[in-house]
Amino acid sequence: MSIGTTWMVLCAAVAVLLFGFAWREAVLVRRLRRDGIPTRGVVVDNTQLAEDDGHIWVPVIAFHDQQGHRVEFSPRMRGTGMGLATGREVPVLYDGRNPQTARVQMWRHTMGPAVSLLLGGMAFLGAGMLIVLKN
């Protein structure tokens, strides 16, 4: 197998993997929208994650589930423009059986991860196609 073929197969495999993760995230969000329990959460903290290109602030959101237990989670979508101010009240959707699957009920936080994974998969698929066309 040539180097070009190896890279093409690797790009295609990564694309399929990213498409699978995007599908899983979209199914979870769809299930939450259909069967999830809506509530209100409060941003109780913003924690700092050290990344290669600097620091990213990630909100920590707390809410009480139907049994009255306090649940804290951080949104999966992170980066510039995704922050939420401490003390802000936000709409939350969660699964009654697993409250840790909670999502902030804003488009950028519910669909953002699936769209990002989909775009990443398309980029890898496109790179694989360029390798095929180049050879």
**Maximum CA extent, the chain:** 61
pTM: 0.79
Reading the block at residue 53, the tokens are 């290109």
Is residue 78 classed as helix, strand or coil in its secondary structure? Answer: coil
Is residue 110 classed as helix, strand or coil in its secondary structure? Answer: helix
pLDDT tens per residue, range 65-90: 999 999 999 988 776 666 788 899 99
CA 11, distance to chain mean position in Å, is 21
Give the total number of structural domains in the chain.
1
Question: Is the Cβ–Cβ distance between 103 and 92 less than 8 Å?
Answer: yes
Q: Does residue 51 or residue 16 have the better pLDDT?
A: 16
Domain enclosing residue 101, as ranges: 3-134
110: pLDDT confidence band, cut at 50, 70 and 90? Answer: confident
Q: Is the pLDDT of residue 8 over 70?
A: yes
